[in-house]
Amino acid sequence: SHKAVIFDLDGVIVDTAKFHFQAWKKLANDLGFDFTHEQNEQLKGVSRVESLKKILKWGDMELSEEEFNRQMALKNDNYLSYVEEMDENEILPGVPKVLKYLKENNIPFALGSASKNARTILKKINLYEDFDAIVDGTDVSKAKPDPEVFLIAAEKLKAEPQDCVVFEDSVAGVEAANIGKMTSIGIGDEKVLQEADHIFNDFTEISIEFIENLLRK
């Protein structure tokens, strides 16, 4: 058996979480209400449909199916207007160093994202060719915290779940990795991501020695 690594996208490789937040906030404001940064944590790693359901609950609103779909499309158009401006400068600090290490040591790595825009974003930041497998919101039927996205990624990398290390910024994603029996590395606030096996504020805090040890065990 061999080790493998799975990366979440939003909040791990790029900071598109801020674009999602701005786009959802605009949607809520246009509908006449607002939600907090704390509530926004609950949207991370969560699919587009589930996100809108949560937001409407917070605003105590119900929409017809048609209007629900229209709002989702508007949010995505708004989100994509931010994505349009992205280039490789948006790759978060410390990430390239880790990807380089994995490549040089022939450790396979995949993307495991809830986003249906993941492939577009990877192309924008010029990392599309670098991943050995890409599993995103267009490939799964069950949203995080269901481990489906990571289990499919492990399978594509021909690795056992126990041999996979997952980098995640969301509560739902850390939970998915844990349920999948993978090693979870939380990227973000330790108070939010306390269920993770290891937690770092960002990739600049992760040393190559740490990665080496993780992949040796």
Residue numbers in the known binding site for Mg(2+) are 8, 10, 168-169
- The answer to whether 11 contacts ligand B16 (rule: CB under 6 A) is yes
Tokens in use for 189?
């606030």
Which residue type sits at 97?
K
Nearer to Mg ion, 161 or 188 (CB): 188
Determine the interface stretch with ligand B16 among 7-15, 28-36, 87-95, 190-198 (rule: CB under 6 A): 7-15
Interface map 156-175 toward Mg ion (x if CB under 5 A):
-------------xx-----
Answer yes or no: are the C-beta atoms of 6 and 153 closer than 8 Å: yes
Residue numbers in the known binding site are 8-10, 24, 43-48, 51, 75, 113-117, 144, 168-169
Give the DSSP per-residue string, 98-132: HHHHHHHTT--EEEE-S-TTHHHHHHHTT-TTT-S
* H or E element at residue 74: helix 65-83
Binders of ligand B16 among residues 42 to 61 (CB under 6 A) are 43-48, 51
- The answer to whether 147 contacts ligand B16 (rule: CB under 6 A) is no
Burial of 93 (0-12, 13-18, 19+ CB in 10 A): exposed
Is residue 10 part of the annotated active site? The answer reads yes
Is residue 130 part of the annotated active site? The answer reads no
The catalytic residue positions are 8, 10
Give the footprint of ligand B16 on this chain (CB under 6 A).
8-11, 20, 43-48, 51, 76, 113-117, 137, 170
